[in-house]
Structure 1
């Protein structure tokens, strides 16, 4: 029986995702001791709005709080490296938003420090914790799909489809050299790796920037919100979209696309896994249904129903059948799994949350994509640093 009320947490970042983290923790019963905003005024305002008792003045104050056991990092990507290392060296567990770092050299350091610390260190690939993705993971592990041959899909959004759309992720110095791949594409890479148990061996990539100049607001803009007021024109170098072909170590092949400029696609992650015995497919915009394909009998659609699901899927299901589990529920399910390990002090056998090693793999994937697009050739992941 878990008692999460004995665990204290703090959240770095008070924007869209920081708020999602905080709300899920409060729902879970974890004691959210405080938040750290981009400024003292911003932190105090958001703490009051979320019902959190404290806004820290800086990271040092947060790390000095002995009532905080776990720190959630939801700050812009460029801040992850220094903040995570400081958190681990302060003896606290950490949950870091994706992507883990800006480069695979940084993520390699983070893996080493996390291992040496002995603390729980998780990357927030929450999409693993839609129950039917856990179900699919269990099906592949049980051999229900046979040998995996072909993996395809996409992650498409439209929130950066206009020249007037703006977010800090557009700036390479803050978000990284890759945007659509680093921001949302690593979710697809992590999820398909989790479902199939396969990791990419080599990639061939093409990146596209369809909006080479954008109107940057002079004031702050929160993710998925519209900007207002004065702007300035700035050049854009990060990718609006990407097309990537993948070779896996077992001989399987994959193809994926990412886009943040597909009109009408609000948050569509789709994967389709073809095995020698059956296939399976899932779409984040209809998350309570899993397609299961057959050659010689009728196809199936499995609804999220714990009376019909395997053990992996059932463990991640929170609500009764017919009560849709969505985006916020995936964070709740993810944190529930991580905090169960925090409670005992380390990652347990059978845990399915993404580790820093997983986050490092995704950074190596991103570095290989950048090299492939620049040099117009296949790039093996073992060619990149870290």
Structure 2
């Protein structure tokens, strides 16, 4: 087994999420050999700001670095498909931000390439790695909740609630045809699928664009930051919000909503799972508490305490009880799991990080949502499956 601190990493993307990746890798003890920006000039500037040792001038230069074992893809969505293909062709392991691709046709090809490569290929669904989500996953596997009947929840934010708010995710050709669903809804779908073990069979969706006209800054804008200076009007085609009903394999039902225009909701992800024996619920803004509901006994709130948690939850926990594990910790826990498998030479039987197969499922879900919204009917995921 390779020692984790002997594994070299490089990060594509130097924005908000690329910076989060770099910080988590440093905390893990993985050497970040360099970063690749959207241009050589931006890469050089951001590498200096982030304290990265090197700014690669191009993807070819990065892939030619034999010291790089794992490449993190945090670029805009449209770049994931060609970049991951090049990374796998170069024989390197990859961690790709979500959504995995722009369409399920692209993600299907990426799954095949990942399998043929023999490399570790993960999708960055970090929210799985809040310890109490791992705990809930373990509870469902142990049948603590019984048969899953009803899955509900939302993912709401407010960072695109004003017509002057701007981000590349608003542009269809860069972010894809879906925005609130593709950007944050896929997190909810992946997380609830991970917790419950259920896959959506069919969806009925409505997409809404409340702000069809926005002001695009002529200069660069960081995620979650307001632009300034001159702007130009742009027509928006992507969804500000969505409501989706879900039919799962096995008969369970679900209802979810996504929104990036809910004032005051900064990063509000909530799921609630009702089983035949008990229920459970989790909320991202109080991540160290798991609600467990009963009919004939008092309800419970489990704090993240590894002296009280199951094996799955305990393995993901890093800090002592009462020391809240939040957003940055979820990346640390996720990367620790993935890099352990890189060191071991491949994904292990008990690994819980999202694979390219999981990423492809989310892309099929997105394609079905798009078709349902356009045609006003229930759409089976089998109708959009291209494999």
TM-score by length of 1: 0.99
In the TM superposition, what are the counterparts of 1:343-382 in structure 2 within 5 Å? Answer: 343-382=343-382
Q: Which residue of 2 aligns with 1:238?
A: 238
Q: Which residue of 1 aligns with 2:16?
A: 16
Q: Which residue of 2 aligns with 1:94?
A: 94
Q: Which residue of 1 aligns with 2:36?
A: 36
Q: C-alpha deviations, 1:124-153, integer Å up to 9, x for none?
A: 000000000000000000000000000000
In the TM superposition, what are the counterparts of 1:66-105 in structure 2 within 5 Å? Answer: 66-105=66-105
Partners of 1:19 and 1:2 in 2: how far apart? 25
Equivalent pairs, count: 386
Deviation, 1:2, is 7.3
In the TM superposition, what are the counterparts of 1:141-156 in structure 2 within 5 Å? Answer: 141-156=141-156
Partners of 2:225 and 2:61 in 1: how far apart? 30
Partners of 1:4 and 1:165 in 2: how far apart? 40
Q: C-alpha deviations, 1:231-276, integer Å up to 9, x for none?
A: 0000000000000000001100000000000000000000000000
Partners of 2:49 and 2:307 in 1: how far apart? 39
SS at match of 1:99: coil
Deviation, 1:3, is 2.6
1:118 aligns with 2:130: no
Assess, with a 3 A threshold, how the Cα gap between structure 1 residues 371 and 322 changes in structure 2: closer, same or farther: same
Partners of 2:125 and 2:382 in 1: how far apart? 23
Equivalent residues of 2:125, 2:187 under 8 A apart = yes
1:257 aligns with 2:247: no
Partners of 2:227 and 2:2 in 1: how far apart? 43
Partners of 2:2 and 2:87 in 1: how far apart? 24
Deviation, 1:310, is 0.3
In the TM superposition, what are the counterparts of 1:1-386 in structure 2 within 5 Å? Answer: 3-386=3-386
Partners of 1:102 and 1:345 in 2: how far apart? 29
Deviation, 1:226, is 1.1
Partners of 1:5 and 1:51 in 2: how far apart? 18
Deviation, 1:344, is 1.4
Q: C-alpha deviations, 1:170-216, integer Å up to 9, x for none?
A: 00100000000000000000000000000000000000000000000
SS at match of 1:155: strand
Equivalent residues of 2:126, 2:334 under 8 A apart = yes
Equivalent residues of 2:2, 2:344 under 8 A apart = no
Partners of 1:330 and 1:225 in 2: how far apart? 23
SS at match of 1:346: coil
Partners of 2:12 and 2:46 in 1: how far apart? 12
Equivalent residues of 2:372, 2:379 under 8 A apart = yes
Instruction: Decide which moves more: 41-50 or 239-248.
Output: 41-50
Equivalent residues of 2:8, 2:70 under 8 A apart = yes
- Displaced runs of 4+ in structure 1, greater than 2 A? none
Equivalent residues of 2:156, 2:268 under 8 A apart = yes
SS at match of 2:110: helix
Partners of 1:40 and 1:196 in 2: how far apart? 44
